[in-house]
Structure 1
């Protein structure tokens, strides 16, 4: 794999950052429970759109955007672990699209081979965005063994950043305790939320709105067609009633 020019490296990495900030990061409603001031990030990443871009080949190129990204990251490192192939990012087992996105957002995409080598995949961070036990110890050792300074600081920053890439996927028959996701610092993909009533002593019922891009399940998308509307702030959205 040939090492690309500096100009090319800046171009594709900057394109990713621009799209991340301007297209893929979306505003969501504040989800802070019983707090007078909002402390949540109120932004999540539309991973489906980010992944579409990664798998796209621009007209003037013969390689996908993801391959070009990895080529340019290869230029930044001297480790023998690289080159890191696009198939390693996208394959079903050990998939690390979200992990790569978070590292690129932090300006440390060059560490993707080490995170992947330590077993930090999308499945790991979707289960818990805070790396604990074996996952954290193994990653810390792997980073330090490969000469990465401030390894614990990098892990801390990664844990804070990865949450915006880990919003739950909604489907028609999901059985997911969304309250647990909020406790894990992950934002739900609701652009609007309105409390309707309380049921009994503890249950609270909300009507929510979700942007079209976050409804990837075809059956759920079909069920929400009648409630779709044009929102002046969030573009195309659908209301979800209990």
Structure 2
């Protein structure tokens, strides 16, 4: 299976996630992820704009609105960050089809779309992906909506969007106290972010940015503020 394949391939890649008991934590919600399963010749595949152009045209859908690769790019950027390795990062993925996914800190995100796609197909079809080395460990899980039920009570919540209020320094979103904070951001190529988690929207640039670039800036800002090197 692809999950074991990726874990084995990644053994040479240094990755240690520290168990952290601190209350401070960056919780990232990747909103509007375009993750959808399609059946092709008796086989389930992750719908995408490269492999399924004919299917999308038949259903009169714009291929530019089916970009699961953006979710892979953002997850890779976040999980490769020192902030994640220091144990200060938690990630949820909320899909365009209203499926809520929790990503375990121990998950090794596949480096390629070929490795990522079958994992997501398995997840969406079965509701979970477990580690084959430790079957008790859920690497990816479909959990019950709404996401607010899974967030710390009373924590600050912000959203990042090109249409938001200009914010010159992302460190301004870092809580002054040792407490968690939620950041919501979109994972699609076009369109404005909509979320009912917060009414505070901020823009981190005068220009539209790729989601993985925003993730990089976000993780770096929080790592700097929290002294993670």
Q: TM-score, normalised by structure 2?
A: 0.30
Task: Decide which structure has greater strand share.
Answer: 2
TM-score (norm 1): 0.29
Structure possessing the higher relative contact order (Cα contacts under 8 Å, 6 or more residues apart)? 2
Considering only CA atoms, is the larger Rg found in Structure 1 or Structure 2?
1
